[in-house]
Amino acid sequence: MHQIREAIPSEYSELGKLMVDVYSQLEGFPKQDEIPEYYYHLIHVGEFIKSPKVKLFVAVSEDGKVDGGLVYFGDLQYYGAGNKSMVNKDAAAFRLLAVNPHLRGLGLGKRLIEICFNQAKKEGFKYLFIHSTKYMKIAWEMYERMDFVRYHEIDFEKSGVGIYGFRYTL
């Protein structure tokens, strides 16, 4: 059974490596040499918490291995979506969801998102946002199963990749 909780500093590097592994294996998703800035953020995921109201949540196995994680944003100005419509005082967001591919289907991604639901509710938000791409088919399907709805107002394109918004009403 995995524990879902905030990451501790000694886990940031392990989470970053997992994120790079997961995203670099997505079929058709740009590689590190094509979007180096994105991969920089993955490998240095711990830097996100330098911003206010940002948390790293992880799924940690009984033996202490980081098998999943994401970044939660309680203030959208730090979310980095590059979209003016992301200035929304009623919403929190998460990004960079990654789960060990060998453990997919066990509910770790869902549990990581649920901790974001709880955090956003605790902070008084009405909505939770996420972005996805066509390359993230498994995640996209999970968001829809969890009752996220497409939210076109926050769609954008970066480095030639279409990035599609979703919204969950808390």
84 is a domain residue = yes
134 is a domain residue = no
Number of domains into which the chain is organized: 1
- 9-68 tens-digit pLDDT: 999 999 999 999 999 999 999 999 999 999 999 999 999 999 999 999 999 999 999 999
Q: pTM score, two decimals? A: 0.94
Q: In terms of Cα–Cα distance, which of 122, 126, 150, 140 is closest to 55?
A: 122
Q: How far is CA 41 from CA 49, 52, 55, 70, 124, in A?
A: 12, 17, 14, 12, 28
CATH number (domain holding residue 38)? 3.40.630.30
